[in-house]
Structure 1
Amino acid sequence: MTVSPRYRHTGLVLARVTTDPGDLDPVTQTDPADPVAVEQDGRAWLAKVWARPEARDALTLASPVLGARLDRILGEDTSTPTAKELRRAVVSVASYLLRWQRRATPFGLFAGVGPVAVGPATAEVGTRHRAVARADGEWLTTLIDRLDRHPGLRPRLTVVVDTARIVRDGRVIVHRRAEVGASAPGPLRESSVRLTRPVQYVLTAAGSPVRFDTLAEKTSVRFPSASPDKVHALLHGLVDAGVLITSLRPPTTGVDALSHLIGALHAAQACTLDDLAAPLRELDAIRADLARHNNAGDPAQARRIRAAVAARMTALAPGVGHALAADVRLDATIAVPERVLDEAARAATVLLRTGTRPFGSAAWLDYHARFRARYGPGALVPVRDLVADSGLGYPAGYLGAPRARPAWRVLTDRDAALLALIQQATLTGAREVELADADVQALTVGEHVDTVAPQRIELGAEVHAPSTEAIDRGEFRLRITAAPPAHTSMAGRFAHLLDDADRARLAATYTAGPAQPPSREVFDTAVAVQLSFPPRRPHNENVVRVPPLLDDVVSLSEHPGHPDPARPDPTVIEVDDLAVTADAEQMYLVQVSTGRRVMPRIPHALDTAVQSPPLARFLAEVADARSAVFRGFDLGAARVLPYVPRIRYRRTVLSAARWILTAADLDTRPEADHPETDRPGAVDGEQPLRSWRQRWGVPARVVLVQGELRLPVDLDHVLDRALLYTRLERTGRIELHEDGPPDGHDWIGRPAELLIPMTAITPPTRPLPATAAPDAVLQPGDSAVVHAQLAGNPARFDEILTTHLPRFVSELHDPRDPDPSVRSWWVRRHRDMIRPETDHHLALFLRLSDPRHYGALAARLAAFAADLDSRGLPGQLTLAPMPQHPARYGHGPALAAAEQVFATDTTAAITQLAAARESGIPAQALAAASMAHLAAAFAPDPVAGHRALLECLRQERGPLDRVLRDRALAVADPERKYRAVRALPGGQTVVDAWHARDTALGAYHRALVQQDRDPGTVLRTLLHEHHIRAVGVEPAFEKETGRLARAVALRHLALAGAR
């Protein structure tokens, strides 16, 4: 079966290209472990590199610390550096230069970004690249922290409450960011204040920006008994704790954060404060210099301005590692033909098809199941309530989540298929696995037609070809280099480098609509919103600042800033206006005030697991939680193999060949005899590495991969091997990936990669379910419903249902009692499909006439469980809360009518199980007939009911047991008053139970109609619940039973002449 593309490129493609000047000369054959070689060759080489203005500028911007070290080593008036210092400088500079030569990933001045046209292949890269500089995130944070504490300035600033705040146990809690200079954000850090009445007032009053002194006045008026000093102390405490955010802190939708700060200072008239007037003038001058730099046409002039402004910034806020950050707009004209982008679209489709998570991650599958169990389908739960500890919290694996990520993993059929392909290639000596369409099918998890594809994705790919003419002839290869999560973007960060037309084309890719909408109405209620939030580590502000690309923004923990008359502000959607709902297949984020479905987009590629606040990650993921997880090719269980060959589909390398190298492979030992070399992990000679390469067939040109580090190295060069040894010693394990062919970048003359935004061609229609606010959970002990769970072997549940449970319930009823304690009862079987290793349980629900009977009924249940246990049957009893699902079943009279359906359906299921046991007829056959009968009764007429069943039970493919089908058709004969069922032992009881259920279904149908609800939305649930009562919880069985029920419904429609 041919793989048809599910994505198409949007017309905007970006190129990421190294700005390597072409004549860099790293000392690749100098051994850093040899002090003599380093002293003789290394120092002269450093001086040669440092004398080049463009190299000095790029290195200093990348690492000011390294720049200062080189100034010290190469200066005339300093002492001679030690061998250790010189070696470290050589290795550091060489690493940067090798990166500059060999990598296209933007970083400082080493690589740039530019648009790519679609047309005949063209590659003209000039030298007048334009650097766009701005204040570094840590430098700016240091300055703002200092200004924020100024006692004369703070009262003039506007403040706003942190929108990501949490209220827990009488305290207001916010998450604090890591300190400036931190190498990692670390665990979540909380800051809190008591939620007193004045604090509650301030939280409400500061919902939108208000001046600090004005807020103080309002608070004093509201609480006249509090002195002004106490009110000011309260507000200062809230700012210091991070509960209130001042206008000095720029939102991440502002790329020019320095201008935001200057604007806030001018708005506060900081120039009238004696000790701030001069710093403000200096900031104005720095901003002017940066503007001159960013508009400079001459790279040499830009370098001079950059050096001068960096010095001024360091003087203003000393002690910060970086003062400037920069991105580069390429001086290049690049075009690729349509066939290159079509090939990338096919590769993206194969990545989606062969992914290991076609219906969402395990954490989100679990969260979706728990949401539906607790709140019910259609429940509209406010986001704050949902992620609170009193709700479900965050999904497993999130920062601050109540559940850790599961550590176990099951070997799947996909793993087996991929391992077989890898083993076959290894045995035959093939260097790659070439996937045919049949292999793609074998690696597909589930039915690919059921997969919900993310609406927007991005794909990074290298084009390998010897010339542009070869590309036009179709003689090229692609290699996938990046596949960011669908809710993030690698392109948005560079939007500020694009012209207005290209920026608009980029923005259009983030909208909620598909490339080819199947119907306009379906997507009119979906809105894409830009998610804006500060990173957990100030250093990462350099990569998260993206201008507004969408009309709506969800802003977390940010001050909205000052209105810009030149640009209309986006509409801000508050967190309190967001809620989550779900149906059987998907979760949805909804704007409560409008009823629109919200699709958050993070327009940058900052890691969401650790570097981003958990609420931002939750909002970004929940809207597409059950969609397929788009990512690079997943090796699955093969990821632990020491070698995996290249995996290719058509022209595209989906996964480069990969080797795992450990310290044990080289038998490395620290060289205690040569401490002066300062070479951790040095080995005794090069033979171990040569032997390892020969054994595993490792080429010279590979990419060293360690976490986020990607460094192309040439193992034939001494310096490159030294870098490998150093990295290996630090971690004990590294990955080496096959690099592209030597002439792969000849078409453009340097390392380059394309970044291709794509949108789904025809995404599935997913209208929002009918929603309602969730009802309170009924807690054990004081509830009108007893929810008891009997855990144990599910093979014994039929015996409990048919023999022991009816006897127990009959003992609860006293025919002489006009007000019985139990008015109705029903059961459900339960199995956790996300964690199949957990216990199954049988859930029993008893509707009480009065909550006062709960204690007595609990005691009776305990005795019943003990009796089961004494008989060797499952008797592990748990009294559990009772969730209510008005969005699923209706409310008030409709919910009461639904419970009568549950009760009568339970009776029908038990009688069917008994009849099946006595007669030998398959329980599935009776259940299928019962489901068709149920649908006929839950409709204005049987024909409408059978048609509704055909609509809600999807037609499945594959062989169907003919004998089982014939048995189902034989017992499903309403025209003959179910004569075949009546003939069974206990058959009359089954038919009587069906008729009793008919009455309850009719009443429930009328109740739903009276509440303006579509009964058809409930039918699928009623059919599912009947199956789990009458057969069990097994998806494969349920699909088969559904097919039998469809066959019965089709037979009835044919007999009625209604097909």
Structure 2
Amino acid sequence: MSDDHVAFQAEPVGMLRVPLLSRAGAVGTYADVDPRDPDQVRRYVDGLAADEGVAEALAVSSPSLSRSVEAVRGEVPLKPKALRKLALSATRYVLRAASRATPFGLLAGVAPVAFAEDCRVRMGSAHRKAVRPDSAWLFGLIRGWEGDFAVVRKLRVVTNDLGCRRGQRWVLPFASQPEESDGDGSDGGTGAGGAGAMRAEEVSVRFTAAVRTALHAAEHPRTVEDVLAVLDRAYPKVPAAAKEKLLLGLVRQDFLLTELRPPLSETDPLRHVVDTLKHAGESDKARELAALADLHQDYAAQPIGTGGAALRRKAVDAANALHSEDPSLHVDMRLDADVTLPYEVLRETERAAAALWRAAPDSVQPPHLREYHGAFVERYGTDQAVPLRDVLDPQAGIGPPAGYLHPRSERRTPERAEPSARDRARDSVLTELALAALASGDREISLDEGVLEWLGGRGPSVSSGPSGTGGPSGAGGPSGGDRAAVPGALEVCAHLTAPSQEALGRGDFALVVSPGTGSFSPGSLLGRFAYLLDDQDVVGDLARRSAEGPGNADRTAGGGAVSAGLEFAPPLARSVNVARVGSFWPERIAVGCFADRSLPAVRGLGDLALVADLDRLYVVDARTGQEISAQFPSMLDLRGGAPAAVRLVLEVSRAGREARPVWMWGAAGSFPWLPRVRYGRTVLAPARWRFSDPALTDSSVDDAEWARRLATWRERWHVPDRVAVGVGDRRTELDLTAPLHRMLLRRELARHEDLLAYETPEDAGAGAGWLTNESGAFTSELVLPLFPTARAQKTPAAPRPRRRVFPSVAAPAPRHDREWLYGKLYASVNCHNQILTEHLPRLLAELPRGVDRWFFIRYADTDGAQLRLRFHGEPSVLHPELTPVFLDWVDQLRSVRLAGAFVLDGYEPEAARYGGTEAMAAAERVFHRDSVAVLEQLRLQTAGSTTVEPPVLAAANYLDMVRRFHGGDWPGFHLATPRDDEHHAYFREHRAAALPLLGNDVMAAAFRAGAAEVTVACEARAAALREYAAHTTRASAVWSVLHMHHNRLIGTDRKQEQRSLAVSRGLAQVEQGRRRHLG
């Protein structure tokens, strides 16, 4: 798509994220304190906690730290190590509360933003709290009640659809983890957890007849009493106590899930539990929990920092009485702010988003998904819908993708793909720009249209400007790559900086895009705070529009996917705190959680199947074949925050939308310093420093010596006093002249080897003066949703030479491995044609009677290039007679260094891809006859009997084959695919050689001599194609036949295949023009 068409429109809604304290609120952390001196630490901590708002924020965000603060204020003696830890932890929290806008507890909150022609801002201090029970505590409370059969028998349960049979046991792939440590500096958790939290031990139960009966009875929600009645009828002689014990055990181990557990879409989880208890007749428990909810409301109504400690402790004590494990609260904060920003802020954000998209690297699948796609195609082929449960089973399928944790995958983590030609050129551009800035001493790179054209791969070389702003000298910009034809929706997160409100109103402002923060799906950053807004529907509208927008519809081959909201139970209960998002879609996918999957709009794991085409994986409804796009507008870290099935469904649905709206330096990212990048009034990337000097991580030196080393490093790299330090989006502003700040930096360096420092948004932008109250000026982040404009939406997507219909999932067909002998011959691509033309005929001549068909394909995976040969026949002939002949033939190839490893394997037909099981035998006869025809053509190619280029020869075969399916209508089949201008140029170049192929004998026209043998082979292929056409003329099946012909004739080179398709389409267009001209 031309850069002229890349445009975004920002929605006139947004969210402002602001820390609790003004920038002046961190002044106390500048104190020169010896953290080993109890009196100094006590006075220091006492000074910080004297601010009741700070004390309350500490109590909410880190109860353990708050208790330590109260202990030292009460003169409880602490060891020197504990004193130092306390001083630094308190410092970090106060700095976070004054400099980091990411919402967490009372340390930072949110407010809606409106837009108008002018600027009107009021920042108050009467912020409002929203209080819920901590999800881990609530999970523990529910767990306790689920262990009481007197309660459980009244509840509805449903069978956990993550379970499956393995041998004589019923297995859940992982066990839920109720707790996650309240470690120092915790930021609420996004699901990744620590090393200790990553346990994913499976649980299982003996799969007895009684267990089978119970699980089957609870396939859809019903009360435990009803399930018990089913067991009573099935096993009347078994004691009631034994059956009750069985059901209680199934509930305790999550084989049966109760309705007590609030779904993720429930924004008032306590109310859900109260209502469920009431409905179950547990009125006493419901009253106790309702009383706790009232205490939450009482505490929420108390203004922050105005003596709410007693109310908070009362709520915590009441929770503790119900369940004593970590009875903490989860609190979100709605800011006391009225903010109306000028429309010009939206326009600047739109320009910045377009620049980020144009300069972004190519969209590349994450390595684990790329490897998994290859493994899936290797195992199941393309267009084959496979039950998702089977795919994820390590025994029956290929197991979870590499790096998955719940359960832990056994697949090897693959290496990253080689960068595209465009990305390599882009890396060169950015590296030269960064080095030029370093050499000249410039602290900033200002992008202009020329550089953006260059980075986007569409512009000529740009000579260097006065500030190193131009592209490097050389020929042409980056080209190629796998960029999306239409940009998708974005959620941009940027610091809005301005010297004053008046300056902001007249356009004197700067946006500073937040490093590492942002979303490819509007609603993800806003979603969990929707319940705080007066108009919650706004977030739902954004999320739905994002899911159904053209930038994402293009990804689903025409927008045929149905969006469905996702419900699941995160493995770590505390991560639910940040995962609660309202329900925005009528269709739902509910996996591993309580749900009524008998409802038409609700799909469980058993209702989902996985399919691959040549480019990607996608999820379909196993009943209808309809593609499903799972939606979960949340920033939850899927790596540790979701079961494998849920993570895969989400990652597959999001594939192609991974890139967040942030600046990416590419190969230059490893530099020890990178300059600021500016475009207009937006800083796309603040200056950044990497702590690469080993002297800074030397733990053997004292603080004074380390401070000297830090000063040396700062002088060398021109590091300012104030920097934002952290990993990913977790950054805290430090002043490197302040002793405690330096100590905090040293501690963080010891913990995180990938720690980075950025210039502060105010230093990079235009200061902090527009958002103020009596306490001072506040830093802030603005979250804005953007969608591609109409002109971007109208841009046609990149052509797809294949057609796809939605496959349906049938019962697994019986295996016929004994009727096939299948060998993988590992050999260099350079040897393939020699093996096929000189050596394979010898093997074919020795085939015993009883082998009725065979075919070959070329293949390449991480183990190397292969020729795969498959022979069909009577098992009594294949294995005792053909196998020795096959192995002798392989040994001969090895003896002359034409082949390496050889593996016998099982053959699984790709029935769904080729029209179903009834069509498969006819399809295999096509493969056989096409293999014979290709061998003849390769033989003549080797003998020099044709001067036709391989892609043109492949196109000749396409025309010959499609005519057998569609007769005189063959041009329409090819012309149904949009023209690919890049590869159509190849047709124009070879038009003269291709035009003779439009004659009556297309194959004879391609060869000077030996055409008779080719014609005979192609006529035999034609007969097989006519038989196959009686089973299916489905376009996707025909395209698959053509694709595999290219594979046999040329190989797996996608570029060559695209050229061959362009030639066949070009010839179809010529033929159509002739017919139109002749009338």
TM-score, length basis structure 2: 0.86
Residue 993 (structure 1) aligned with residue 1001 (structure 2): no
Match of 2:610 in 1: 580
* Corresponding letter in the other structure for 2:312: R
Distance 1:24 1:432, change over 3 A: closer
Does 2:746 align with 1:725?
yes
The residue matched to 2:198 in structure 1 has which SS? coil
Q: Deviations over 1:408-450 (max 9, x none)?
A: 6646514334323322332232323444222322499875785
Seen in structure 2, the aligned counterparts of structure 1 residues 792 and 932 have a Cα distance that, compared at 3 Å, is closer
Q: Which amino acid aligns with 2:108?
A: A
Pairwise mapping of residues 805-954 of structure 1 onto structure 2 (< 5 A)?
Answer: 805-812=840-847, 820-832=849-861, 835=862, 838-848=863-873, 853-874=878-899, 876-891=901-916, 894-919=919-944, 921-924=947-950, 927-928=953-954, 930-942=956-968, 944-952=969-977, 954=979
- Counterpart of 1:283 in structure 2 is 289
Structure 1: distance between partners of 2:428 and 2:138: 52
Instruction: Answer whether contact 1:18 1:104 (CA < 8 A) is retained.
Output: yes
1:254 equivalent in alignment to 2:266:
yes
Conserved? CA contact 1:530–1:554, under 8 Å: yes
2:432 to 382, 400, 420: 420
Distance 1:1036 1:940, change over 3 A: closer
Q: Offset at 1:365?
A: 2.6
**Is the Cα contact below 8 Å between 1:245 and 1:558 reproduced in 2?**
yes
Structure 2, unpaired ranges of 5+: 182-192, 459-476, 773-777
What is the match of residue 437 of structure 1?
452
In the TM superposition, what are the counterparts of 1:515-534 in structure 2 within 5 Å? 526-534=561-569
**Map of 1:758 onto structure 2:** 786
Residue matched to 1:565: none
C-alpha distance 779-558 of structure 1, shift in aligned 2 (>3 A): closer
Alignment of 1:514-663 (within 5 A): 514=549, 526-560=561-595, 571-593=601-623, 595-626=625-656, 629-630=659-660, 632-662=662-692
Looking at structure 2, the residues matched to 559 and 31 of structure 1 have their Cα atoms a distance apart, in angstroms, of: 55
1:770 aligns with 2:806: yes
TM-score (norm 1): 0.88
From the superposition, tell whether residues 869 and 67 of structure 1 become closer, same or farther in structure 2 (CA, over 3 Å): closer
CA distance in 2, matches of 1:727, 1:628: 29
Following superposition, the deviation at residue 245 of structure 1 comes to 2.2
**What residue number does 2:500 align with?**
467
Structure 2 counterpart of 1:191, from 194, 203, 206: 203
Superposed CA deviations along residues 971-994 of structure 1, whole A, max 9, x for unmatched, are: 525257766545x23232223333
Structure 1's 21 and 34: CA in aligned 2 closer, same or farther, altered over 3 A? closer
| Structure 1 vs Structure 2 CA RMSD | 3.5
Residues 937, 1002 of structure 1: 8 Å contact kept: no
In the TM superposition, what are the counterparts of 1:691-706 in structure 2 within 5 Å? 691-706=712-727
2:167 is matched with which residue?
Answer: 169
Identity of aligned residues (%): 28
Q: Quick check: 1:230 aligned with 2:261?
A: no
Q: Is 1:551–1:570's contact at 8 Å kept on the other side of the alignment?
A: no
- The offset of 1:221, in angstroms, is 0.9
Q: Deviations over 1:716-771 (max 9, x none)?
A: 22221121112223345521122213443322231111122334553978996231
Counterpart CA distance in 1 for 2:339 and 2:600 is 33
**Deviation of 1:1038 (Å):** 2.6
Q: CA deviation at 1:1047?
A: 4.2
Query: Matched residues in 1 for 2:478 and 2:127: separation?
Result: 46
Secondary structure in 1 matching 2:758: strand
Say whether the 8 Å CA contact 1:660–1:735 is kept in structure 2.
yes
Alignment match, 1:395: 401
Aligned-partner residue type, residue 548 of structure 1: S
Q: Distance in 2 between matches of 1:667 and 1:385?
A: 48
Q: State the 1:130 CA deviation.
A: 0.7
Question: Is the alpha carbon distance of 1:411 and 1:503 closer, same or farther for their aligned partners in structure 2, counting shifts above 3 Å?
Answer: closer
Q: Return the alpha-carbon distance in structure 1 between the equivalents of residues 365 and 897 of structure 2.
A: 40
Confirm whether residue 97 of structure 1 aligns to residue 121 of structure 2.
no
Say whether residues 1:374 and 2:403 are aligned partners.
no
Kept in 2: contact 1:7–1:759 (CA 8 A): yes
Tell me, yes or no, if the aligned pair for 1:669 and 1:683 is still in contact at 8 Å.
no
- The one-letter amino acid of 1:498's match is L
Partner secondary structure for residue 881 of structure 2? helix
AA matched with 1:754: L
The CA distance in 1 between the partners of 2:261 and 2:1003, in whole Å, is: 75
Q: CA deviation at 1:16?
A: 1.0
* Cα offset, 1:281, TM superposition: 4.5
1:472-491 matches, within 5 Å, as 472-481=505-514, 482-484=517-519, 486=521, 489-491=524-526
Determine the C-alpha separation between the residues in 1 that align with 2:971 and 2:287.
Answer: 79
Q: What is the match of residue 678 of structure 1?
A: none
Residue pair 2:952, 2:994 contacting (<8 A) in 1 also: no
In structure 2, relative to structure 1, the CA distance for the partners of 1:45 and 1:31 (3 Å cut) is closer
Q: Find the aligned partners of 2:479 and 2:209 in 1 and give their Cα distance.
A: 55
Give the drift of 1:936: 4.8
Q: Does 1:737 align with 2:758?
A: yes
Change (3 A) 1:458 1:195: farther
Partners of 1:315 and 1:230 lie apart in 2 by: 32
Secondary structure of the residue aligned to 1:548 is coil
Residue aligned with 2:94, SS: helix
Other-structure match for 1:674: none
Distance (whole Å) between structure 2 residues aligned to residue 557 and residue 997 of structure 1: 50
Q: Distance in 1 between the 2:29 and 2:657 partners?
A: 47
Q: Deviations over 1:457-476 (max 9, x none)?
A: 42211122223444454443
Please state whether the residue corresponding to 1:938 is helix, strand or coil: helix
Q: Give the equivalent residue in structure 1 for 2:474.
A: none
Q: 1:58 to 1:465 in 2, by over 3 A?
A: same
Task: Output aligned runs, 1:5-44, within 5 Å.
Answer: 5=6, 7-20=8-21, 24=25, 26-33=27-34, 35=36, 39-40=39-40, 42-44=41-43
Distance 2:415 2:246 in 1: 45
Task: Give the 3-state SS of the residue equivalent to 1:694 in structure 2.
Answer: helix
CA offset at residue 876 of structure 1?
3.4
Partners of 2:930 and 2:59 lie apart in 1 by 75
Aligned residue identity for 1:684:
E
Change (3 A) 1:853 1:524: closer
Q: Which of these residues, 312, 323, 342, is aligned with residue 317 of structure 1?
A: 323
**Is the CA contact (8 Å cut-off) linking 1:952 and 1:1019 kept in structure 2?**
no
Relative distance call for 1:349 and 1:164 in structure 2 (3 A) is farther
Among 137, 144, 147, the alignment partner of 1:146 is 144
